[in-house]
Amino acid sequence: MRYVIIGNSAAGVNAGEEIRRKDKESEIIIISNEKDIAYSRCLISRFLDGRLPETQLYFKTKKFYRDFNIKPILGKRVTAIDTSGQSVNLYNGERFSYDKLLLAIGSTPARPKICGLDLEGAFNFYSLEDARKINNYIKNVKKAVIAGAGFAGLEAAYALRKLGVGVTVVERCSQILPNQFDYISSELIREDLEGLGVEVILNESLTSINGCGTIESVTIGEDTDISCSMVIFATGVKPNAQLASEAGLNKDRGILVDEFLKTSNPNIYAAGDCIEIEDMNTGKRQVSATWFNAVLQGKFSGLNMLGIAKRYSGLVGIQNAVQFHRLGAISFGMTQVTDDDLNY
Amino acid sequence: MNCMSCQPAEQKVVDDLTRYMYKQARQDGMETIYERFSKQQPQCAFGTLGICCTLCTDGPCQITRKASRGVCGADADLIVARNLTLKCAQGTVANVYHARNVAKTLKAVGEKKSDYDIKDEEKLRRMAGQFGFDGKLSKEQLALKLGDFFIQQINSNDYEPLKLVEVLALPKRLDVWRKLDIVPGGPNSEAATALSKCMTNVNNDPVDLLLHCLRLGIANEYAGLYGITSLQEILMGTASPNIGEVNIGTFDQSTVNILAHGHQPLLAIKVLEIAGSKEYIEKAKKAGAKGIKVYGSLCEGQQIFNIAKDYKNVFSGQIGNWIQQEFILATGAVDVMFFDYNCVMPTMVDFAKKYHTKMISTDKVIRQRDVERMEFEPDRAREIARAIVDKAIEYYTKRGKVNIPDTKTQAMAGFTTESVVSALGGSVQPLIDAIVNGSIKGVAAVVGCTTVREFQSGRHIKALSEELIKRNILVIGAGCCSSAMQNANLMHPDSAKKAGSKLAGVCSALGVPPCLSYGSCTDIGKIIETVAAIAKTLNVDIPMLPVVASAPEYMEQKAVAEAFTAVAMGVTLHLSPAPPVLGSKLVTEVLTDAVEGLTGAKVFVELDPVKTADKMEEVINKKREGLGLK
Amino acid sequence: MKKLYMRIERCAGCKRCELACVEEHKKIDGLNPKTRIFVESINDRPVPVVCRHCRDALCVSACMAGCMQKDENTGIVTNQGHEQKCVGCWMCIMACPFGVISLSDDEATINSYAFAQAVKCDFCPDQDTPACVSACPNEVIEVKDIKEEALCGM
């Protein structure tokens, strides 16, 4: 048997490990467009502010692929899935056939459609590569503006403050962490952050980024300008479902799977940020982008791919845990706003 | 396992008005008994089981699976028995202290050195006659002699059997006690001997200690409880049925409010007189109030409630029980709280400060730091009462925020042997007839304290009483149990409809509730008097009667003494929570089984109110069978 | 697989287990050591609660740093002693259904480890018998070695 896993993060790696624990013989391949070995995406802020070296970001050991006999194909993008031929095509023409395929392809950071996105000094804060780029650019940056006060945005804000950069966070909603905490808790966390010197502007979004070649300022709302030399976009992520839809698999916002994490194709499974899963509590489907869910989905999909039927039905709302400065916080349950205004 | 450990304190409070005031107190940042209880969890099971001994410096010792004896050699049986005896002694002497105060006052009346009169001369003469005093003497002379006699009895030696017991006890009971060699001498001396026995390496015989507890229990009744109540009746009058208001909603915002809290009502009588006087009503009005109202809480409130007929224009309600005291002050409506004895939480000082209440202690045993003392003497009672009411008027003008819950509750109090007999037409026979024909299955005394322990806080008392009356068992309440039943609307004649049809019928016919309040915990002495009177009429010993007792939320040491009183009297007793004896197989077996062979009664523990009612009913049924009743 | 089992009817609530645990872990936790065993009050009775070293430990799945791992041989779940290091992110604390993981965030810990550390029962790696078991006067806690199915994920 050959198991092909696209995606080298929480879901993909744990699926691979799970399969190998039960099946010592079959071939397992993990393909990723990122060139880094499996690192914890949640830790990149601690890399950015210097608390963790790169080598401490890996959530499996450095010898993981060797110990578990998994073949990593890194830095190469999959461009198409051939469902009838049961193979995946890479950007450079390489093809890998599969008996079972797992799409653990995560999500992509969204950017608002505004002017100035091409100016130098604009970054995402999603991958380790993003963090490296910010790291290289940060030396002469005195002030940065961060769009979005979700986890990623606030982690970035915290990291930048630790590096001595002035930070303003601009958030569209009337509270920070709108998908994680209720209003009262978010206010407490905001106070905690403001104690560090982070400025938070609510109920506003960026309308343009201004400058000549490099960023000089941003405009928020009608006509308020903030001078800065760096902008970080943390305005949300969209599940990567295009590969799936081009292959004819069912999708909505994310790839649609059943309770065994199987897509509409019997040999293709999906797990992690790229899927939509049903919330037991509300009966509604939603994207479940957290590390914890991705790990569990990875493990479950691995078992199901092995033929061990294991229902994944644990989703009851979302769990979140965070501590930026002094205040640690945990939330459970119906933590997400219900409207669709996350789509840009 | 049902998880109640995270249950917020509010849910433990069964009474709505208390819960309302609890929320207020919490909003005001006050820590209450419920928070303190939570912080103490989990509580040490060595203590709960009675197998912790802290007597000497070779300890403190615990009996564990690894250590079956303390350092001195004491085993679990001995440690448990010692600990229990100490509590029994404490409770006994506490009651006796109260009795001695009443006797002192009676003596002072005889010496014409007091502010009091003889209210019930008939009773004085009858009692004096029982003890052989000349009926031709004046009432002052008899008061002197009787008061003095009581004090002598209290101070007599443990090797001199109490004349009180020999005269007052049911002869058949006295026989049982003589055979067991447990007729006690002077209670303070008995307690002193008990304390000596409980020292390290003195008495090593747990059974001897338990028998000593029975002695203390008997002394507790005659020198303590009965002494208190009968001598108080001579000075204050005897209880008679009356309806009044109860619980926290009773407070009146527009009047000067005085709260009498504790167990010794003699001073309160004078306060009632002063507060009801024209002179002081005028003073109050000058200060802007509509008048003056005196309320009672705890057992003092119950005792005043019992005789409230005489003070209708000024006594305005029995406010509450031990748990409620902090919440009572949280209304901000109490201008002066004067207290005399027992059951005052140290934190009342904080609540008084927060809610503008002036606290005044009126007995030397109940002193508190930074609290003004006006200590009662029989000939200074009026003077102190005036000072108390003056202070109350002064504090009325300093009131802060007042928050009184909106609900009014009423109850009937005033039951005791005499008034029950009177209600029945002059003898206990109608009650006996009702028991014989089954319209009253039996009588259950539900007495004692309230606790905040898991699932209690008034909950067990209420649920148990409701169950018992449903089964046509007449309930007699005393102590904080009375308060809990009053708050739960079980003591108004209207609540007869909550009883089974037979009991309801009897109660409706007599215009009484199915739960009769005898008043304070010291009125347990009167409950026993009633039970003895029934036994006497039927010419049987007490264990034969379809009577059972329960202290479903007992808390403190007087209750331990009363438990031994009940067992010595031959009344089987339910206890909840379990007393600290379960760490000793011997003591547990003696109390729950073997003692029945000695005195005709035993103890059983049950934490669930419905199951408690089942077991109490079972006891009653067995007694009925024994009497040949269906 | 090693587990701690409780005979809860014997528990007296003396908390010697908690004290022994704190003492044993002082060297890891620094100035403000935390117990990894908790004596709770349930239905008016003391009950000791401790990590179950779950077969399918949720803390392991939740761990973002990869340091929380279940040992294949002993079954012990711990975040110490691995290549990956704890970053004090709260995830395992959030995930544990028994609530037996705490955060050690005093100055000494943060100075030693750069991050606050999640602390949980580690089965006392330096002792033959866990400290809580030795300390209990009533033999409430027992170490049992039970057969657990080979790790099969969730």
Any domain includes B22: no
The chain C residue lying nearest B452, using CA atoms, is C44
Asked if residue B558 lies in contact with residue B322, where contact means CB atoms within 8 angstroms, the answer is: no
B61/chain C closest Cα distance in angstroms: 12
Query: Catalytic: which of A42, A173, A228, A274?
Result: A42
The reply to whether B181 and B213 lie within a common domain is: yes
Instruction: Check if A162 contacts C (Cβ < 8 Å).
Output: no
Asked if residue B601 lies in contact with residue B566, where contact means CB atoms within 8 angstroms, the answer is: yes
Residues in chain B with CB shorter than 8 Å from the CB of C43 are: 1-2, 4-5, 454
The reply to whether B120 and B205 lie within a common domain is: yes
Considering only the beta carbons, identify the residue of C64, C83, C94 that sits closest to A319: C94
Instruction: Check if A59 contacts C (Cβ < 8 Å).
Output: yes
DSSP run (H or E) holding A161:
helix A151-162
DSSP run (H or E) holding A226:
strand A224-227
Residue to mutate among C39, C40, C41, C140, with most B CBs inside 10 A, is C41
Task: Please give the domain boundaries of chain A with CATH numbers for all domains.
Answer: 2-108+238-306 (3.50.50.60), 121-235+320-331 (3.50.50.60)
Considering only the beta carbons, identify the residue of A43, A60, A330 that sits closest to C90: A330
pLDDT, tens only, A262-281: 999 999 999 999 999 887 77
Which domain CATH number covers B160?
1.20.1270.30
The reply to whether B350 and B377 lie within a common domain is: yes
A23/chain C closest Cα distance in angstroms: 11
Contacts of A75 (CB under 8 A, 6+ apart): A32, A33, A34, A35
Closest alpha carbon to C37 in C25, C27, C28: C25
Any domain includes B569: yes
Phi, psi (5° rounding) for residue B284?
A: -65, -40
Whether chains B and C touch (3+ CB pairs under 8 A) is answered by yes
* DSSP sequence for B12-64: H---HHHHHHHHHHHHTT---HHHHHHHTPSPPHHHHHT-EE-SSTT--EE--
Instruction: Check if C110 contacts A (Cβ < 8 Å).
Output: no
Any domain includes B407: no
Q: Is B64–C44 a contact, with Cβ atoms under 8 angstroms apart?
A: no
Instruction: Check if C97 contacts B (Cβ < 8 Å).
Output: no
B370 is in which domain, residue-wise? 242-396
Any domain includes B402: no
Asked if residue B147 lies in contact with residue B110, where contact means CB atoms within 8 angstroms, the answer is: yes
Q: Is C151–A292 a contact, with Cβ atoms under 8 angstroms apart?
A: no
pLDDT, tens only, C63-117: 999 999 999 899 999 999 999 999 999 999 999 999 999 999 888 888 888 899 9
Asked if residue B327 lies in contact with residue B21, where contact means CB atoms within 8 angstroms, the answer is: yes
Instruction: Check if A35 contacts C (Cβ < 8 Å).
Output: no
Band (pLDDT 50/70/90 cuts) for residue C148 is confident
Q: Which of B396, B423, B454 is the last residue of a domain?
A: B396
The reply to whether B248 and B389 lie within a common domain is: yes
The reply to whether B470 and B344 lie within a common domain is: no
Whether chains A and B touch (3+ CB pairs under 8 A) is answered by no
Residues in chain A with CB shorter than 8 Å from the CB of C153 are: 18, 21, 299-300, 302-303, 310
Q: What chains are in contact with C, requiring at least 3 Cβ pairs below 8 Å?
A: A, B
The reported pLDDT for the residue numbered A337 is 58
Asked if residue A324 lies in contact with residue A75, where contact means CB atoms within 8 angstroms, the answer is: no
Residues 104-143 of C with CB under 8 A from B: 137-139
Task: Please give the domain boundaries of chain C with CATH numbers for all domains.
Answer: 2-145 (3.30.70.20)
Q: Which of B363, B396, B429 is the last residue of a domain?
A: B396
The reply to whether B219 and B143 lie within a common domain is: yes
**Residue A260: C-alpha distances to residues A297, A313, C16, C84, C147 (Å):** 9, 9, 46, 31, 28
The reported pLDDT for the residue numbered C151 is 46
Residues in chain C with CB shorter than 8 Å from the CB of A52 are: 87
The reply to whether B425 and B566 lie within a common domain is: yes
Low-confidence ranges of chain B (pLDDT < 50): 1-5
The reply to whether B248 and B232 lie within a common domain is: no
Which domain CATH number covers B331?
3.40.50.2030
Any domain includes B488: yes
The chain B residue lying nearest C42, using CA atoms, is B5
DSSP run (H or E) holding A295:
helix A291-306
**Residue pLDDT tens, chain A, 344 long:** 999 999 999 999 999 999 999 999 999 999 999 998 889 999 999 999 999 999 999 999 889 999 999 999 999 999 999 999 999 999 999 999 999 999 999 999 988 899 999 999 999 999 999 999 999 999 989 999 999 999 999 999 999 999 999 999 999 999 999 988 989 999 999 999 999 999 999 999 999 999 999 999 999 998 899 999 999 999 999 999 999 999 999 999 999 999 999 999 999 999 999 999 887 777 788 887 889 999 999 999 999 999 999 998 766 567 889 888 888 999 887 776 555 444 43
pTM of the model as a whole:
0.84
Any domain includes B38: no
The reported pLDDT for the residue numbered B3 is 45
Closest alpha carbon to B583 in B37, B43, B53, B40: B53
pLDDT, tens only, A285-311: 888 788 999 999 999 999 999 999 999
Any domain includes B410: no
DSSP run (H or E) holding C78:
strand C77-78
Instruction: Check if C87 contacts B (Cβ < 8 Å).
Output: no
pLDDT, tens only, A115-127: 999 999 999 999 9
Look up the ipTM and state it: 0.89
The reply to whether B221 and B264 lie within a common domain is: no
The reported pLDDT for the residue numbered B174 is 97
Residues in chain C with CB shorter than 8 Å from the CB of B2 are: 43
Considering only the beta carbons, identify the residue of B45, B65, B453 that sits closest to C46: B45
Q: Which of B236, B264, B297 is the last residue of a domain?
A: B236
Any domain includes B287: yes
The reply to whether B231 and B328 lie within a common domain is: no
Contacts of B209 (CB under 8 A, 6+ apart): B78, B81, B82, B84, B85, B194, B197, B198, B203
**How big is the B-C interface in CB pairs under 8 Å?**
53
Three-state secondary-structure class, residue B179: helix
The structural domain count of chain B equals: 3
The reply to whether B200 and B269 lie within a common domain is: no
The reply to whether B442 and B581 lie within a common domain is: yes
Length, in residues, of chain A: 344
The reported pLDDT for the residue numbered C31 is 67
Please state at what angle helix B298-306 crosses helix B266-275, rounded to 10 degrees: 70
The reported pLDDT for the residue numbered A338 is 55
Three-state secondary-structure class, residue C107: helix
Is A42 one of the annotated active-site residues of the chain?
yes
